[in-house]
């Protein structure tokens, strides 16, 4: 079969083998017999765990085996060995030991298969091998088959039942086998039978799975550290090896002295325990070995395994240079593709610049640049931290100081490299963890700013999911022209405004930007000439002045006209604003709420600008500008809209407080009445249920029907309270403006504050658990009424009664637990998905293939459409084309 042939870079083979006792002794630099490490003078004891023949860790000292030092010469360290008094089973290999024992005869060591079976399986294995297929299946089959045998087909010996008693003991017919017995047995298995046990004769013998010699890793693997107090602290591995040697010694002495069998066996068991924990300290079934402080030791397996193990934390992931991390804070005056970098960081981070004939003078000047410790970003001039010179093939890195600056500058040659400090306009990558999508890492242009935080425009908070309650973010600097060009084309913020998920904008105006534009454009707001100039100054507007209205000798401008200065001249749009109330009879285009937006030739004729115009996800104007005028125009539109919004809102003034939720006494009474009615309704429902008069809904039991009905009534009661409260909260109310314009909060939030909080639920049902037959002792047993089952009739403003408060906390707690569980679970799911898909990509011919060239999809997504360039998943926006044609554009 030609299945696996075409993989471009294929690993030929990986082979795992066991170290034989002879090999261990051969590679050993010394036998280790003393459990002590250092003598009283602080010198390592010969044939101890820190024997200098095992390598050296202190700089300057020479290794006694190879004569090299640590630093420059790099003595890699050398293994030692411990001769075990009695053999010990290797925990990592018990399963293979068990299988080998099960499949072989204790008498003659042969595999328990008849000559015929044996030949068949051998042929099968050969066939698999020649076809390059995975033979695991056959190997399992062999073991299964040979376990069935009752008598050895060769020596007629009865076959015992082998059981593995986790973690390391093996029993035959219920009788425990000592490791020595196991080893003797394994020794008998002939070489010819090993392939049937999945053992390659060249790389291992089964008896090597039972240890007789233990390799001692070099000191470089387990360096001891000297504490400030001068005390030495040893590595966990050394501690464990000390235990092994100590017990090994006692075992030997006892055995040689002819101690009772019982004592020898106990010590043997103890040696087994220490070696097991030395290899893996999380073996199930045995208590983990602990440090004196009670902390479990980190032994061999723990060094490699899991997230903090060698693979995931040192090999797949590494720490990087040319990066910075600090707290973030907002700066509405920066463009969305800028990032404010503190002077201190800018002075530390560098970008390499190659010296050429064109820039040599400039480079020399940079080197001579005096580093001024000023906090004023206008005074900031980038200097040079290092100069890299190549002389006779040797790279030299020279640190620039005030003293040598002039000298180095003079000697600068073409072809050298200077490591220049950051300056405005440098491209950098900005990232916030968890990096859940590609917008979590975008390219920003550096702007050097004072103080100590990274600063960026508020509009880019949503893609990073950042807020300013102490969040920190990372900055990375691109060290090559190629990387910079790639980031410039693919990663800049404006290239990421459109989400690759559905093709809509995910960066747009938020919060105050929306409130500001709402205030500016709602109804026919007239703004005095002075104020208008102030707002326009925010966007550095240069162009035709908007219409000036003369009234009573005062000059005004219309808010809509001011906003129109941001719009391109060819913009034509008509849509419903967020403020739209969905009236039963729509009177558009003449909407009394000013919720029908009409833009003609770049002039906002009517309608209010709110979330549906400039917000992320929904902003129609934003979407159209990006589609028609490109990403850069989109970027400058967002920049300007945010500035104009903020200037307007600061000019008009905007504040919200708890009295925004004040409603008149009359309204409160109405709400009370409504709630009372709802309670009565529930009471009558319960009564009907108790009298068995309730008719069940299709597919529901009577109880379920009652619950559903009650939930419906409580839901309606809350909506009613909200409606009454909403009627009294008009658009002169800041909280309402925020909710209606889509800036922040919802009418539901407001109605919970001023009307009624509503039914609390746990797992989608009314609260029913707690005490026997009741939720709390405040209620009668069997009470099915509204208040007894978690209905909160109060509003947040007046405050909750104690029982209501308790129910509310129950509902709230469920929410918290849900989010915690969801994030951890979806995180792991995502990790597995990413690992499975990481090297799948779209090729130039539109096919989706993985790294081996295997085709996964013949056309990407079956339609070949890039969702980031689509309109809600469709390649063509038919509606748009139709309207455009109708309008004759």
Find out whether the peptide bond into 589 is cis, omega within 30 degrees of 0: yes
CA quadruple 36, 40, 43, 45: dihedral sign: negative
Nearest approach in angstroms of CB 855 to other proteins is 6
| Nearest Cα residue to 348 out of 387, 372, 382, 389 | 382
Residue 423: count of CB within 10 angstroms of its CB: 15
Q: Which of 203, 672, 824, 854 binds other proteins (CB under 8 A)?
A: 854
Interface with other proteins includes 134 (CB under 8 A)? Answer: no
Compute the least distance from the CB of residue 127 to other proteins, in Å.
11
Q: Kindly tell me which of 523 and 854 has the beta carbon lying closer to other proteins.
A: 854
Q: Least distance (Å) from other proteins to the CB of residue 496?
A: 23
Of residues 763, 862, 878, 885, which one binds other proteins by CB under 8 A? 862
Closest C-alpha among 56, 83, 84, 82 to residue 71: 56
Applying CB under 8 A, which part among 158-166, 565-573, 687-695, 856-864 lies near other proteins? 856-864
Whether 760 and 792 have beta carbons less than 8 Å apart is answered as yes
User: From the CB of residue 551, how many other CB atoms can be counted at a distance below 10 Å?
Assistant: 8
CA distances to 91, 183, 234, 266, 581 from 273, rounded to whole Å, are 10, 18, 21, 11, 74
Among 861, 868, 871, 883, binds other proteins (CB under 8 A): 861
Task: Give, in order, the Cα–Cα distances in Å from 813 to each of 99, 787, 808, 823.
Answer: 50, 19, 9, 16
What minimum distance in Å lies between the beta carbon of 853 and other proteins? 5
Contact residue for other proteins among 40, 316, 845, 889 (CB under 8 A): 845
Peptide bond into 434 cis (omega under 30): yes
Site for other proteins in 196-235 (CB under 8 A): none
Does the footprint of other proteins cover residue 859 (CB under 8 A)?
A: yes
Outline where 342-498 has alpha helix (H).
343-348, 360-368, 405-411, 461-464, 481-490
User: How far apart (Å, rounded) are the C-alpha atoms in residues 350 and 357?
Assistant: 21
User: No. of H helices and E strands in the chain?
Assistant: 24, 30
What are the angstrom distances between the C-alpha of 457 and each of 116, 334, 463, 809?
78, 6, 12, 36
**CB-based contacts of 672, cutoff 8 Å, min separation 6:** none
Read off the tokens for 211.
């240890």
H/E stretch holding 366: helix 360-368
Q: What's the start-to-end Cα distance of the chain, in Å?
A: 60
One residue of 125, 849, 868, 877 binding other proteins per CB under 8 A: 849
Parallel, antiparallel, or unpaired for β 338-342 and 441-449? parallel
Least distance (Å) between residue 854 CB and other proteins: 5
Q: Rounded to 5 degrees, what angle do the CA atoms 174, 180, 182 make?
A: 50
Counting residues that bind other proteins (by CB under 8 A) gives: 23
- Return the residues of window 390-449 that contact other proteins according to CB under 8 A: none
* Contact letters for other proteins, residues 5-24 (x by CB under 8 A): xx------------------
3-state secondary structure at position 280: coil
Residue whose tokens read 């800049």: 492
- The CB-of-442 to other proteins minimum distance in angstroms stands at 28
Cβ proximity to other proteins, 676 vs 866, nearer residue: 866
Which lies closer to other proteins via its Cβ, residue 120 or residue 269?
120
530 binds other proteins (CB under 8 A): no
Q: Is 863 in the site for other proteins (CB under 8 A)?
A: yes
| 4, 586, 837, 882: residue in contact with other proteins (rule CB under 8 A) | 4
> Between 132 and 306, whose beta carbon lies closer to other proteins?
132
Q: Is 837 in the site for other proteins (CB under 8 A)?
A: no
206 close to 191: Cβ distance less than 8 angstroms? no
Distance in angstroms (rounded) separating the CA atoms of residues 536 and 769: 60
Position 865 contacts other proteins (CB under 8 A): yes
Site string for other proteins, 542-561 (x = CB under 8 A): --------------------
We find the least distance from the C-beta atom of residue 126 to other proteins, in angstroms, to be 16
Neighbours of 863 (CB within 10 A): 10
Q: Are 552 and 566 in contact (CB under 8 A)?
A: no
CB of 119 to other proteins, least distance (A): 21
Q: Judged by CB under 8 A, does residue 847 bind other proteins?
A: yes
Could you tell me the smallest distance in angstroms from the CB atom of residue 683 to other proteins?
A: 50
Asked if residue 840 binds other proteins (CB under 8 A), the reply is no
- Give me the least distance between CB of 866 and other proteins, in Å please: 12
User: Beta strands 765-766 and 761-762: pairing type?
Assistant: antiparallel
Cβ proximity to other proteins: between 128 and 529 the closer is 128
Instruction: Give the residue with the Cβ less far from other proteins, 144 or 712.
Output: 144
Q: CA 427, CA 446: separation in Å to the nearest integer?
A: 6
Per-residue contact string for residues 789-828; x = within reach of other proteins by CB under 8 A: ----------------------------------------
* Listed ranges 181-189, 461-469, 789-797, 841-849: which one lies at the site for other proteins (CB under 8 A): 841-849
Q: Which of 141, 314, 873, 884 binds other proteins (CB under 8 A)?
A: 873
By CB under 8 A, is residue 500 in contact with other proteins?
A: no
Q: Which is nearer to other proteins, 798 or 874 (CB)?
A: 874
1 counts as binding other proteins under rule CB under 8 A: yes
Contact of 735 with 729, CB cutoff 8 Å: yes
Q: Which is nearer to other proteins, 87 or 867 (CB)?
A: 867
Residue number, 630 or 852, with CB nearest to other proteins: 852
Nearer to other proteins, 155 or 855 (CB): 855
Smaller CB separation from other proteins, 7 or 581: 7
CA 527 to chain CA mean position, Å? 48
Which of residues 23 and 120 has its CB atom nearest to other proteins in the complex?
120
**Among 43, 74, 853, 881, interactor with other proteins by CB under 8 A:** 853
* Phi and psi angles of residue 326, each rounded to the nearest 5 degrees, phi first: -160, 180
546 neighbors 561 (Cβ within 8 angstroms):
yes
Query: What tokens does 243 get?
Result: 């235990």
Question: Is residue 350 within 8 Å of 478, Cβ to Cβ?
Answer: no
Q: How far is the CB of 388 from other proteins (least distance, A)?
A: 44
Exactly one of 829, 856, 876, 882 binds other proteins (CB under 8 A); which one?
856
Residue numbers at the binding site for other proteins (CB under 8 A):
1-6, 845, 847, 849, 852-859, 861-865, 873
């Amino acid at each position: 079969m030609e299945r696996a042939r075409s993989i471009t870079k294929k690993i030929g083979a990986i082979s795992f083998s066991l170290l034989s006792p002879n090999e261990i002794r051969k590679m050993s630099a010394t036998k280790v017999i003393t459990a002590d490490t250092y003598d009283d003078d602080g010198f390592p004891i010969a044939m101890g765990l820190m024997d200098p023949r095992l390598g050296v860790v202190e700089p300057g000292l020479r290794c006694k085996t190879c004569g090299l030092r640590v630093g420059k010469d790099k003595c890699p360290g050398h293994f030692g060995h411990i001769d075990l008094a009695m053999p010990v089973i290797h925990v990592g290999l018990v399963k293979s030991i068990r299988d080998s024992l099960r499949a072989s005869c204790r008498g003659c060591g042969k595999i328990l298969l008849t000559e015929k079976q044996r030949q068949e399986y051998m042929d099968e294995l050969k066939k698999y091998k020649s076809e390059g297929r995975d033979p695991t299946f056959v190997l399992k089959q062999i073991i299964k088959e040979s376990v069935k045998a009752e008598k050895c087909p060769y020596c007629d010996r009865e076959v015992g039942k082998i059981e593995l008693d986790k973690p390391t003991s093996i029993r035959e017919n219920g009788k425990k086998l000592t490791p020595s017995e196991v080893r003797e047995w394994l020794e008998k298995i002939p070489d010819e039978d090993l392939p049937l046990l999945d053992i390659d004769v060249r790389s291992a013998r089964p008896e090597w799975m039972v240890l007789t010699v233990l390799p001692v890793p070099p000191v470089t693997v387990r360096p001891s550290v000297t504490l400030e107090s001068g005390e030495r602290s040893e590595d966990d591995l050394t501690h464990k090896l000390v235990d092994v040697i100590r017990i090994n010694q006692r075992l030997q002495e006892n055995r040689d002295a002819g101690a009772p069998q019982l004592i020898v066996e106990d010590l043997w068991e103890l040696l087994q325990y220490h070696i097991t924990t030395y290899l893996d300290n999380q073996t199930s079934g045995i208590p983990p070995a602990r440090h004196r402080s009670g902390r479990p030791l980190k032994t061999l397996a723990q060094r490699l395994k899991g997230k903090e193990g060698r693979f995931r934390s040192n090999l797949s992931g590494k720490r990087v240079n040319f990066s910075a991390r600090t707290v973030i804070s907002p700066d509405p005056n920066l463009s969305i593709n800028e990032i404010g970098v503190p002077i201190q960081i800018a002075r530390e981070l560098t970008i390499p610049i190659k010296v050429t004939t064109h820039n040599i003078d400039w480079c020399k000047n940079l080197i001579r640049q005096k580093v001024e410790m000023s906090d004023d970003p206008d005074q900031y001039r980038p200097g040079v931290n290092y100069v890299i010179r190549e002389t006779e093939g040797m790279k030299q890195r020279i640190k620039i100081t005030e003293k040598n600056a002039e000298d180095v500058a003079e000697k600068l040659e073409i072809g050298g490299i200077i490591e220049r400090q950051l300056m405005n306009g440098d491209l950098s990558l900005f990232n916030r963890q968890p990096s859940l999508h590609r917008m979590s890492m975008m390219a920003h242009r550096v702007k050097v700013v004072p103080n100590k935080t990274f600063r960026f425009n508020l509009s880019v908070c949503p893609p990073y999911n950042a807020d300013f309650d102490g969040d920190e973010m990372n900055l990375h600097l691109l060290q090559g022209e190629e990387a910079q060009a790639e980031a410039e084309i693919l990663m800049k913020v404006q290239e990421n405004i459109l989400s690759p998920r559905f093709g809509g904008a995910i960066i747009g105006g938020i919060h105050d930007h929306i409130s500001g534009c709402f205030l500016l454009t709602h109804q026919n707001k007239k703004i005095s000439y002075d104020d208008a100039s102030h707002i326009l100054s925010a966007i550095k507007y240069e162009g035709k002045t908007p219409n000036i209205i003369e009234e009573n000798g005062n000059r005004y401008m219309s808010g809509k006209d001011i906003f129109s200065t941001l719009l391109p001249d060819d913009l034509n749009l008509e849509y419903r604003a967020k403020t739209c109330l969905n009236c039963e009879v729509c009177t558009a285009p003449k909407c009394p709420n000013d919720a029908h937006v009409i833009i003609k030739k770049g002039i906002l004729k009517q309608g209010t600008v709110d979330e549906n115009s400039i917000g992320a996800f929904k902003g129609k104007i934003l979407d159209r500008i990006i589609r028609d005028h490109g990403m850069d125009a989109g970027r400058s539109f967002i920049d300007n809209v945010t500035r104009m919004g903020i200037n307007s809102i600061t000019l008009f003034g905007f504040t919200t407080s708890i009295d925004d939720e004040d409603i008149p006494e009359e309204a409160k009474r109405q709400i009370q009445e409504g709630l009372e009615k709802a309670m009565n309704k529930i009471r009558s429902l319960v009564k009907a249920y108790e009298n068995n008069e309730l008719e069940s809904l299709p597919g529901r039991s009577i109880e379920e029907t009652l619950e559903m009905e009650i939930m419906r009534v409580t839901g309606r009661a809350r909506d009613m309270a909200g409606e009454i409260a909403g009627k009294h909260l008009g658009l002169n109310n800041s909280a309402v403006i925020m909710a209606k314009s889509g800036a922040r909060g919802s009418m539901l939030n407001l109605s919970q504050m001023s009307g009624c909080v509503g039914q609390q639920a746990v797992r989608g049902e009314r609260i029913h658990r707690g005490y026997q037959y009741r939720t709390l002792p405040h209620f009668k047993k069997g009470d099915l009424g509204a208040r007894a089952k978690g209905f909160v009739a109060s509003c947040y403003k007046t405050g909750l009664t104690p029982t209501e408060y308790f129910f509310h906390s129950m509902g709230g707690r469920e929410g918290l637990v849900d989010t915690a569980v969801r994030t951890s679970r979806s995180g792991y799911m995502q990790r597995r998905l990413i690992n499975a898909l990481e090297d799948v990509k779209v090729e130039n011919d539109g096919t989706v293939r993985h790294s081996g060239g295997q085709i996964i999809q013949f056309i990407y997504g079956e339609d070949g459409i890039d969702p980031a360039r689509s309109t809600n998943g469709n390649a063509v926006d038919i509606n748009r084309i139709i309207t455009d044609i109708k309008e004759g554009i």
